[in-house]
Chains A and B, each alone.
Chain A
Amino acid sequence: MSFRHILAITRKEFNHIIRDRSTMILVVFTPLAMLLLMAYALTVELQHIPIAVLDYDRSATSRDFVQQIISGNDLDLYQQVGSIAEIEDLLMHGDVKAALVIDPNFSRDLLAMRGMPMQVIIDGTEPESGGFAVEHIAARAEKFANEALSNQIQMMGFSEESLQPLDLRIRTWYNPGLKPRNDLIPGLISMVLGFPALSVALALAHEREHGTMEQLMATPVGRAELLVGKMIPYIVAGMVNVVILPLLAMAWFNVPFNGSFPLYFGLSALFMFAIISMGIIIGVFMKTQAAAMGVSFLMIFFPGFFLTGLFFPIVSMPEIMRLESLGMPGTHYAIITRGIFLPGIGLEILWPYAVMLVLLGFSFTGIAALFFRKKLG
C-alpha cells in the first residue's frame, strides 16, 4: 500500500465533493434535511381529536362527565348528537374519529357504585386516533368516578385509599415523559448518516460511467489504495454531520445529550467506517449510478428503517431477521447513539457494539477489495 497513492485519490475525491454541487448536497445537507423532516413526520403528537357525544342520560352528572372529557387539548367535542345514525354519518364523513355513547342509566349506576355504563365507538380505519380517544376517556372516567364517589365512600366509613388495593406508579427512566423525539432522534441519526455511504457508491459508479475508472485501471494504483483513498473523504464528510446532527437535535428538538461527546465522536467514526464500507461494496458491484442508487436504498436505508430496531424492537423479530440486523452497522450504532444521548452510558457497556462496528467495517472493506478487479467488462 502506497500512502502517496491513497493521498492522491483522497485529495482528488475531496475536490470532487467540494466542487460538484450535487455531491456536496447529498453528503452534507441531505442528512440534516432528512433528520428534520423525519423527526417532524414521525413524532406528531396526537391532539384535538374530534369526537361526537350521544348522551342518553341527560343528567347533571353525565353533563359534568362530558365536560371533563373535552377539557384540555386532547379531545374536542365536535357535536352532541341524538341518535346512533348521526354518529355513523359523522364517522363516515370523517368529521369525528370517535364517539362517546352514554347509557340512560349512567348516573344512577355510578352513584349506586354499579359501574359507568357507556360505549366508545372508534373509526377502525384510523386506529391511532381512535385508540388515543379510548385511552383518554378511560383515564378520565376513572378520575371522574373517584371524585364523584369520594363523598359517598367517606360517608360509608371507608378511607378512599382502602378502595384501591393496587397502587401502580409507573416511572420512565432516561426519557421521563416518554417523549418520542428523545428516543427517536438519536436513532434517526444512524439512518441519515447513510447518505455519505450512498454518495461513495455513486462516486464509484460515476467513475465507471465517465471513463475515469478505465483510466485509473490503466495505472499502477493498487485496488485497496483506490478503495481506501475513496472512502476517507466520505468518512470525513460524514463526521461533519456527526458533529452537526446532535447540535441540531439539542437546539431544535431539545433532545438531551447526557453522555460523553468524545466517546460519541469516536464511536461515530467507527460507524462511518462500517457504513461507508457498505457503500463501497455497492459501488464495486454496481456499474451505473442508477443501479448503485437503487441498491443503496435496498441495502442501506430500507434495512436501516426496519431491521435496526429503530421502530420495531429487534427481540420481536424472527430469528433470521435478527441475524440480518446484526450485520447492519445501523443496528449497533442506534444502540450507541440512544445510549449516549439518553442514559449517558459509557464504553464499559457499549464496547461490544463498537467491536461489531469495527468487525463489520473490516469485513465489508475486505469483501470490496477482494471483488474489485482492475478489469473492464
Chain B
Amino acid sequence: MQDAIIQTQGLTRNFKKTCAVDALDLSIGKGELFGLVGPDGAGKTTTLRLLAGLLDLNGGEATVAGFNLRKEHESIKKEIGYMAQQFSLYAELTVLENLRFFAEIYDVPSEEIAERTENLLQFARLTEFKERRAAHLSGGMQKKLALACTLIHEPKILLLDEPTTGVDPISRREFWDILTNLHLNGTTIIVSTPYMDEADRCSRVGLIYEGKLVICDSPRKIKNELSGEMVEFLTDDWQKAKKIVGKLPGVLEAQTYGEALHLLVDNGEKRLAEITRALTKEGIKFRGARIAPVRMEEAFISLIQRLEE
C-alpha cells in the first residue's frame, strides 16, 4: 500500500514457549477503519500492544506513523491513542479530572484543554456526568470515557483493544457511531473485536489465527470467499436435523445458532427445496426456512473451521 500509516514485516513476539504473533505482515492505509478479528488467544491483543510500543519485538520490523517501532517508540506514542481491553482509567478521579490528566500528559496546550474536553464530553454524551468519579460510571460510560481520554490529543491513529466487550447493545451501537464519525473525519482506527457485526462495519478486516494473519480484506470480499449461499431454518430438534441435512449433497457446512440451523450450500434455490423435502420426510418439525445473506459470522466460523482442519 502506498500511503500506509502502519506497516509491519515479519512482526514477531514470543512469550516463553508460545509464539503470540508469528511473522505478521500488515499494511494499513491512512484513514482506514481496520478490524482485527480472531478467536481468543489468537494474538490480537499482542499485535495491538506491539503497535502501541508496549512490548519489545522479538523479530521483524514495523513503522507506525512514519516512526520505527524498534527505535522511536516514544515518538509513536505521541501520535497514537491506545485503549486497553481492561478498564484502565483512574477510578478515584472524576470524568473531568481523568480527561485533564491525559490532556496534560499528552501536552495539549492549556488554553485548548477546556474546549477539547467540552467537545469530547458532548461527543461521548458524558457532559452531565463530568463531576462523577470514574468508578461510579456504568461499563458503557467507562468505555466512552476511556475513548475520550485517548482522543484528547487528537491522535492520527487509534488502537482499540476490544473496546465494546462487556458493554450493553445500546452503548455498543453508540460507541460505534462515535468510531464511524472519527473514521469519516480521517482518523485511522485499528479495532479488535469478537463481534462479527462490528467487523462488518469496518473498511477492512484482518483475521488472525495462531499469531498469523490468515486473511485480510474488505468484509464484502471475505464473505464472497465463501462460495455458496446460506439456507437457514428454525427447529426444536436441531441435533437430529443437523445430522440429516449435513449428509445431503451440496451442503458444504452446517452451523448451529441457538435453535437456528445455518447451512452453507452451493445453490440456494435448488438445495432449499431438497432440504425441506428431506426434513418433512423424516418428520422433523421446522419453520422459517429461507435463503439468507451470508454474514461475517458464518464466514468467520467457516474460515476458522477450515483452519482447524
Contacts and interface: CB of A to CB of B under 8 A. Distances in A.
Interface in B40-91: 49, 52-56, 74, 77-78, 80, 82, 84, 86-91
Interface string A201-223: 00000000011101111111100
Closest 7 A/B residue pairs (Cβ): A211-B88, A8-B104, A218-B82, A211-B86, A215-B88, A19-B92, A220-B77
Contacts of B89: 212, 215
Contacts of A11: 101
A4 B107 contact: yes
A2 B104 CA distance: 10
Contacts of B88: 210-212, 214-215
A212 B90 contact: yes
Contact of B87 (A5, A9, A15, A211): A211
Contacts of A221: 105
Nearest to A218: B82
A40 to B, nearest CB: 35
Nearest to B100: A8
B266 interface: no
A376 B74 CA distance: 14
A12 interface: yes
Interface bracket on A: 20 to 34
Residues of A contacting B: mostly:
helix
A376 B49 contact: yes
A234 to B, nearest CB: 16
B93 A15 contact: yes
Contacts of B253: none
B102 interface: yes
B257 interface: no
A214 B102 CA distance: 13
A5 B105 contact: yes
Contacts of B104: 4-5, 7-8
Contacts of B133: 19
A217 B54 contact: yes
A12 B87 contact: no
Interface in A159-214: 210-212, 214
A318 interface: no
A197 B49 CA distance: 31
Given A8-B105, A374-B74, 20 more contacts: A4-B104, A5-B104, A7-B104, A8-B104, A15-B92, A15-B97, A16-B90, A210-B88, A211-B86, A212-B90, A214-B54, A215-B82, A215-B84, A215-B88, A215-B89, A218-B53, A219-B106, A220-B74, A220-B77, A376-B49
A377 B104 CA distance: 27
Nearest to B82: A218
Contacts of B107: 2, 4, 220
Contacts of A218: 52-54, 77, 80, 82, 84
Nearest to B92: A19
A221 B54 CA distance: 13
Nearest to B81: A218
Nearest to B84: A214
